[in-house]
Amino acid sequence: ARARDTLTWIDANPLGTAAGYGVNLALDRDHTTRALGFARLQVNPVYAQLSRGKFEIAALDALGAALLDLRRLAWDLSLFTTAEYDFVRLPAQYTTGSSIMPNKRNPDVVELMRASYAGVAAARSEIEQLLSLPSGYQRDLQFSKGALVRGFARGLAALALLPDLLTRLQWNDAAMRAAIEPAMYATDVAIEQAVAGVPFREAYRAAAATAASAGEGRSPQASLAARVSPGACADLRLAELRERWARLAP
């Protein structure tokens, strides 16, 4: 949706605006707009000139928004694959051997995915700095092309790895269950008491005082099944999300 909104804004034909004031020829700019597949014509020549750099930044912003999520996911995986957590294992093709430790497999692909946002952010920053210019056509912006190509090449390559990686992750249920502590159920206890009529401030304090025993008689499955607020585990509303996705699909 973010990419589509950005495309709607930047899908405009600047051809024929010349150096910013038009020319004394009756150019068929509408024809070039149709022939090249643009959605509309950038009518005002001054706007066409001053949008240079801004459109590139907008495109990189849309890409960067996705890569921020990718960076966070890669961070999580880099932690949860460690021996200390052991919550998930990466597929072999997403790891490499250690340069010195024969027993070790490094999560290099995940770490490179985590680093991919830096290239997009750097490209955006480079173009933004180029825009420290007066009005009109400026040759400085020729340098924006390299930054744009580098940012998109790195960002799209990283995103392309994600679907296959997600389908091949191997989750360690036993390790994740073992990490659940009784105190994690304290919120459930407080809310249940509030539902029963205890003011939440009192229920909160009581649950905090007995947090160490909050897990007695409870299970992860029951806790998840009780979460009935919209969007929570017992009311995921997947059908609604699928409908939204279908509206976005090309």
Share of the chain above pLDDT 90, in %: 90
**What is the tens place of the pLDDT at every residue in 50-107?**
999 999 999 999 999 999 999 999 999 999 999 999 999 999 999 998 889 888 889 9
B/e letters for 138-158, b = 16+ CB within 10 Å, e = fewer, are: eeebeebeebbeebbebbeeb
pTM attached to this predicted model: 0.87
Kind of pairing between the strands at 88-89 and 40-41: unpaired
Q: To which CATH superfamily is domain 52-176 assigned?
A: Fumarase/aspartase (Central domain) (1.20.200.10)
Q: Which helix (H) or strand (E) holds 221?
A: helix 220-225
Residue pair 95/155 in contact by the 8 Å Cβ criterion: no
Q: What is the pLDDT of residue 237?
A: 97
Q: Where are the domains of the chain?
A: 1-44, 52-176, 181-248
